[in-house]
A and B are shown apart, each in its own frame.
Chain A
């Protein structure tokens, strides 16, 4: 696959569990029909944060990739997250993803790049080089919020983007200035790498600055609405962008507006449950079920998404 295959909305899928905490494949099938199969979605990303990758066993990640491929087919690129604590595990997960049939790995920053290592240029570049050298499929970089301490500097990101197998950056820097600096650096140093905004509160602003696609867990919940925003931006239609953004805003606020932000994907699950897409919204530990008051707020916000 190429960077241009990501021009459009890539959905970061959530993963439904039943009340016992087992993967609920029937609900997952309905979810894929809802957000991955429609033409408004150009690519599917599994085993990311939204897919609770860190709570899955290796064989479950493999099963998710295979199952998703069987539903979505081969026409859309399938990306899979690499959420490891260190280099050995990252390589293991990457190879497993390739073997299971993923088209691209999305590499999350490992814990081992904490303590200031992610702020250097050398350490993250060497990490990405080692991981991408271990597989033959392309890779995408997940740029974390700078406030997390695991975000890369613009200079490091530009170096990583120049690695042979890197085709995309999912940018969640968390400030519009960092996004724009990274966007400009990619265009200057790695023009064949796709910049994918991945920051819920900044979508319109990020698309205004410039983007080569859009990757979000929110596409699990509101795939068509995000696609409308993307298409309006592609058409240079400001009024259309604002209309799409206005329609999304209450959903964005319900999902991402209140702490703890770690609950965002559990809130998306609550929304999907209230829309009848999945049966059970419970996440795996250490995520906690969404409190009743918040669940009601989410259910109210997503009502306009109910087309049935």
Chain B
């Protein structure tokens, strides 16, 4: 199943998966197993990013995070598993990193905790990443946030420091803007050609793949894994027409799922999966009333436009 990008051992397309919940707000383990199995069945998918933002990493406790990784390991058919770590506390993040190794993850990804939006010191950011990297010894991914994410996005100097971490394997490049993506990519390629730059702004996959990438870790692939893999492959083969045709199918869906407020993306992804008949309950850990009929209908129409659903 796994189709590695030859230029990088962690290359290829990873689905950033969601975490199904019951109505009571607990993890629905069976639904999780099914979700990962269905996504993992996509031909050529390299792996899963579990416990990312789409997986509500900020709302799960340590046991739950491990539980998700174990299910992913169980489901995996040669898939690589990257486990997200999102904790405000470095010592907790270190324990999570050890947990991830025990539960069978192949790599860990550090998410910038939200207090960094207050303005984190570069020394703290460096230490936090190294603490996580050293705790488990697993290969490390870092998360470069959106140009609109304020101070949780890394400055060039911080990126330079993080690129010195020996175990760094890849960057989830979520700048969400083509020019900024290219800057990160060129910086990483000049300092650490072995580090994979993974184009992960779901709305901008096509142009970022065109600029160049080793793959992608994106939540859109939790809904349409085949299309994302096909898009990445088409660009890798230099087939611009085919890539543009896939981009055309994805465009409105991506615009809707990731429209402001971005925090709703997880819920919208779950609703898409429900519309497609792949998830029965769209509950999240967020204190969020159901979306309106109009919002849900817009997602349904986008799935039809993407060719994922027949109009009924």
Select which of A177, A208, A245 is within 8 A of B240 by beta carbon: A208
Which of chain B's residues 203-223 have a Cβ closer than 8 Å to chain A? 203-204, 206-208, 210-212
**The stretch of B7-15, B16-24, B176-184, B282-290 that contacts the partner chain:** B176-184
Which of chain A's residues 157-178 have a Cβ closer than 8 Å to chain B? 175-177
Give chain A residues whose Cβ lies under 8 Å from the Cβ of B238: 237-239
Which of chain A's residues 63-106 have a Cβ closer than 8 Å to chain B? none
Indicate the size class of the contact surface on chain B.
10 to 19
Once the chains bind, are B240 and A205 in contact (CB under 8 Å)?
no
Once the chains bind, are B179 and A201 in contact (CB under 8 Å)?
yes
Once the chains bind, are B211 and A204 in contact (CB under 8 Å)?
yes
Q: Chain B, 283-303, contact with A by CB distance < 8 Å: what is the 0/1 string?
A: 000000000000000000000
A176-B177, A242-B212 given; A208·B206 CB < 8 A: yes
- Cβ-Cβ contact count across A and B, 8 Å cutoff: 47
Q: Chain A, 184-213, contact with B by CB distance < 8 Å: what is the 0/1 string?
A: 100000000000000101101100111000
Residue B186, interface by CB 8 Å: yes
Residue A236, interface by CB 8 Å: yes
A176-B177, A201-B182 given; A238·B235 CB < 8 A: yes
A204-B211, A238-B210 given; A177·B179 CB < 8 A: no
Select which of B204, B206, B241 is within 8 A of A236 by beta carbon: B241
Select which of B179, B206, B235, B240 is within 8 A of A202 by beta carbon: B179
Once the chains bind, are B210 and A208 in contact (CB under 8 Å)?
yes
Once the chains bind, are B203 and A204 in contact (CB under 8 Å)?
no
Output the residue of A175, A199, A242 with the most chain B CB within 10 A: A175
Query: How far is B250's CA from A48's CA once the two chains are assembled, in angstroms?
Result: 37
Once the chains bind, are B207 and A208 in contact (CB under 8 Å)?
yes
Query: How far is B203's CA from A205's CA once the two chains are assembled, in angstroms?
Result: 13
Give chain A residues whose Cβ lies under 8 Å from the Cβ of B204: 176-177
- For residue B183, give the distance in angstroms from its CB to the closest CB of chain A: 8
- Interface SS majority for chain B: helix
Query: How far is B207's CA from A237's CA once the two chains are assembled, in angstroms?
Result: 14
- For residue A187, give the distance in angstroms from its CB to the closest CB of chain B: 11
Once the chains bind, are B186 and A205 in contact (CB under 8 Å)?
no
Give chain B residues whose Cβ lies under 8 Å from the Cβ of A242: 211-212
Give chain A residues whose Cβ lies under 8 Å from the Cβ of B211: 204-205, 242, 245
Give chain B residues whose Cβ lies under 8 Å from the Cβ of A177: 177, 203-204
Once the chains bind, are A238 and B240 in contact (CB under 8 Å)?
yes
Q: Chain B, 65-103, contact with A by CB distance < 8 Å: what is the 0/1 string?
A: 000000000000000000000000000000000000000
Q: Chain B, 100-132, contact with A by CB distance < 8 Å: what is the 0/1 string?
A: 000000000000000000000000000000000
Give chain A residues whose Cβ lies under 8 Å from the Cβ of B210: 204-205, 208, 238, 241
Which of chain B's residues 30-58 have a Cβ closer than 8 Å to chain A? none
Output the residue of A180, A199, A237, A242 with the most chain B CB within 10 A: A180
Which of chain B's residues 239-270 have a Cβ closer than 8 Å to chain A? 240-241, 244, 251
Query: How far is B206's CA from A241's CA once the two chains are assembled, in angstroms?
Result: 15
Query: How far is B32's CA from A69's CA once the two chains are assembled, in angstroms?
Result: 69
- For residue A253, give the distance in angstroms from its CB to the closest CB of chain B: 9
Once the chains bind, are B178 and A176 in contact (CB under 8 Å)?
yes
- For residue B174, give the distance in angstroms from its CB to the closest CB of chain A: 14
Give chain A residues whose Cβ lies under 8 Å from the Cβ of B177: 175-177
- For residue A57, give the distance in angstroms from its CB to the closest CB of chain B: 36
Query: How far is B238's CA from A11's CA once the two chains are assembled, in angstroms?
Result: 29
- For residue B310, give the distance in angstroms from its CB to the closest CB of chain A: 25
Output the residue of A177, A241, A245 with the most chain B CB within 10 A: A177
Once the chains bind, are B241 and A205 in contact (CB under 8 Å)?
no
Give chain B residues whose Cβ lies under 8 Å from the Cβ of A236: 240-241
Once the chains bind, are A209 and B207 in contact (CB under 8 Å)?
yes
Query: How far is B247's CA from A180's CA once the two chains are assembled, in angstroms?
Result: 12
Give chain B residues whose Cβ lies under 8 Å from the Cβ of A202: 178-179
Q: Chain A, 229-260, contact with B by CB distance < 8 Å: what is the 0/1 string?
A: 00000001111011001000100000000000
Give chain A residues whose Cβ lies under 8 Å from the Cβ of B203: 177
Give chain A residues whose Cβ lies under 8 Å from the Cβ of B240: 208, 236, 238
Select which of A205, A209, A238, A239 is within 8 A of B179 by beta carbon: A205
Q: List 12 A-B contacts (CB under 8 A).
A: A176-B204, A177-B177, A199-B179, A201-B178, A202-B178, A202-B179, A205-B208, A205-B211, A208-B240, A209-B206, A236-B241, A238-B240
Closest 10 CB pairs of A and B: A201-B179, A205-B178, A205-B207, A176-B178, A208-B210, A238-B238, A236-B240, A208-B207, A202-B179, A202-B178
Binding site for A on B (CB under 8 A): 177-179, 182, 186, 203-204, 206-208, 210-212, 235, 238, 240-241, 244, 251
Binding site for B on A (CB under 8 A): 175-177, 180, 184, 199, 201-202, 204-205, 208-210, 236-239, 241-242, 245, 249
Given pairs A202-B178, A209-B206, A239-B238, 6 additional interface contacts (CB within 8 A): A177-B204, A201-B178, A204-B211, A205-B210, A208-B207, A245-B211
